[in-house]
Amino acid sequence: MRRSPRRRWLRLGLMVLLLAVAAWTAGLFRFAAAVPDHVADADSATDAIVVLTGGSERLETGLRLLAEKKARKLFVSGVYEGVDIAQLLRLSRQVPDEVECCIVLGYSAGNTRGNAAETAAWMAAENFRSLRLVTANYHMPRSLLEFTRAMSGLTIVPHPVFPDGFKRRDWWRWPGTTHLVASEYTKYLVALARHFATGKGDHP
């Protein structure tokens, strides 16, 4: 008895779906394994330190690095309109006079792609050639993807921070971390696809 064309297409569609899910799941585990668990280069000096907003530990790390003279300026990307440097320093429990002169705030970015574009414009205006990128460890792969595309030829030193709520080890056992990893991985794939579609996918 011949199978109907409809059933064949349904079987084919199901196989494609299962393969896609398997590929996505395998990629998810590879992505999670690539999330940094330490700062590979904590000592190199750069022209700038760039902090992406999203957690107090990011700003505190950036301010500490600036105080240690790891860079000449600190750029904070993605700041809410109306927030000034003094407020930011109070929130991070730092003494304003120590570092206020060397901090620049960026207000135009609303996402990681915007962070990269905003930072690229500022780096060009400052004629800087290297930066230390401070963001959460789970956010670092996508941030590096966007930043290397926006600033090819510049030196970018990743400096991940490690939020207490993110359980990198055995991440699949923690529902909140699992959701976060899956979300970041999916966003990473979307960003990667966008770069390939626009002809910028020569090196992932």
- At 139-150, the pLDDT tens digits run 999 999 999 999
pLDDT at 202: 46
- 78 against 203, higher pLDDT: 78
For residue 65, pLDDT over 60 is answered with: yes
Residue 184 is encoded by which pair of tokens? 């970041």
Q: pLDDT-based confidence at 106, cuts 50/70/90?
A: very high
C-alpha to C-alpha distance for 85 and 95, rounded to whole angstroms: 11
Q: Tell me the per-residue pLDDT of 110-147, one tens digit each, with 9 for 90 and over.
A: 999 999 999 999 999 999 999 999 999 999 999 999 99
The letter for the amino acid at 28 is L
In percent, the amount of the chain with pLDDT more than 90 equals: 67
How crowded is residue 30: how many other Cβ atoms within 10 Å of its Cβ?
10
For residue 167, pLDDT over 80 is answered with: yes
pLDDT at 4: 72
In percent, the amount of the chain with pLDDT more than 70 equals: 93
The letter for the amino acid at 48 is A
For residue 58, pLDDT over 80 is answered with: yes
Q: pLDDT-based confidence at 6, cuts 50/70/90?
A: confident
Mean of the per-residue pLDDT values of the chain: 89
What is the SS3 assignment for 194?
Answer: helix
C-alpha to C-alpha distance for 79 and 81, rounded to whole angstroms: 6
Edge-to-edge order in the sheet of strand 103-106: 103-106, 73-77, 48-52, 130-136, 155-161
CATH code, residues 48-161 = 3.40.50.620
pLDDT at 5: 76
- 23 against 81, higher pLDDT: 23
DSSP state letters, 2-66? PPPHHHHHHHHHHHHHHHHHHHHHHHHHHHHHHS-SS-S-SS---SEEEEESS-HHHHHHHHHHH
What is the SS3 assignment for 130?
Answer: strand
DSSP character for 80?
A: P
CB contact at 8 A, 62 and 74 = yes
C-alpha to C-alpha distance for 57 and 64, rounded to whole angstroms: 10
CB contact at 8 A, 189 and 27 = yes
Domain boundaries, the chain: 48-161, 170-204
Residue 20 is encoded by which pair of tokens? 């896609």
pLDDT at 3: 60
